[in-house]
Amino acid sequence: MRGSDLPQSEGEKGGGVGAKGLTEASEGGCALVTGASRGIGAETARLLAQDGWTVGVNCRADTDGAGEVVRQITEAGGKALMVKGDVSESSDVDSIFEQLEQSVGPVRVLVNNAGTRDDMLAISLGDDAWLKVIETNLSAAFRTTRRALMPMVRGRWGRIVNVASIVGMRANPGQANYAASKAGLIGFTKTVAAEVARRNVTVNAVAPGFIRTAMTSDVGEELLRAIPARRAGAPGDVAACIRFLVTPAAGYITGATIPIDGGLSA
């Protein structure tokens, strides 16, 4: 489907969420953050809730972590609900969206944060390790984006942010599967952004560098010496950028990939 073939909506005739601000948009739907039980996803969920969004806190298995994020949000006066499901499975993606649509409304903000690693030199990398990383990091983002887009297009307002990595922009030996998944995510971001830009739907990516999370707990401290900022990033550094990309102020930013790496990729 080409951009010009997308269905018209009432928003095309002058109405729609696109003509309104963030408050009106959040009242007409919700935000979904995948892989939100900890790290970047959890911090993003908390910040979006502070901005008035009802947040779907997704997890595959860590219900304790996701439940704690929901508790923190609600105790701070925000709104959130846990939506369990494996976003690498099409049936689970449908279930996640249906639960949110029935409980809150359409997904107006989608943050594709769920990710995994399985590092090994390419010469020794098995099919299972390759497919697991590609399915979780890239194919899952395709499926959730596809499911989210039609309501966004019809409502003439939407925000999609994909959490890529600077590894998708540069070599990192031992991570051929991870690098391929994140490079693919960047290309996917650019293409979908061009397809839906006319409908006031933006699609962007952030590319974190060395961020202290459970996924990077085994990364050696010697990497810090290569970072101009001379420190590792925090999940909040990435979440703050995602938070901005969701706002009306970022409405003219689409198809971009923003490194968040303390200058590592400069």
The predicted-structure confidence for 100-109, as pLDDT tens digits, reads as follows 999 999 999 9
Handedness of CA 174, 60, 69, 48 (dihedral sign): positive
The predicted-structure confidence for 180-239, as pLDDT tens digits, reads as follows 999 999 999 999 999 999 999 999 999 999 998 766 665 556 777 889 998 889 999 999
Share of the chain above pLDDT 70, in %: 86
Residues near 265 by beta carbon (within 8 Å), at least 6 away in sequence: 166, 169, 170, 207, 209, 259
Structural contact between residues 261 and 208, judged by C-beta atoms closer than 8 angstroms? yes
Q: How far apart are CA 40 and CA 164, in angstroms?
A: 12
State the fold for domain 23-260: Rossmann fold (3.40.50)
Which of 6-10, 35-39, 79-83, 251-255 is the least confident region? 6-10
Q: Which two tokens stand for residue 257?
A: 């990939």
Q: Which of 178, 185, 200, 261 is catalytic?
A: 178
pTM: 0.89
Amino acid, single-letter form, for residue 257 = T
The predicted-structure confidence for 234-262, as pLDDT tens digits, reads as follows 999 999 999 999 999 999 999 999 999 99
The verdict on whether 178 is a catalytic residue reads: yes
**pLDDT score, position 186:** 98
Cα separations (Å) of 39 from 29, 42, 66?
A: 24, 5, 11
Structural contact between residues 129 and 177, judged by C-beta atoms closer than 8 angstroms? yes
Domain ranges of the chain: 23-260
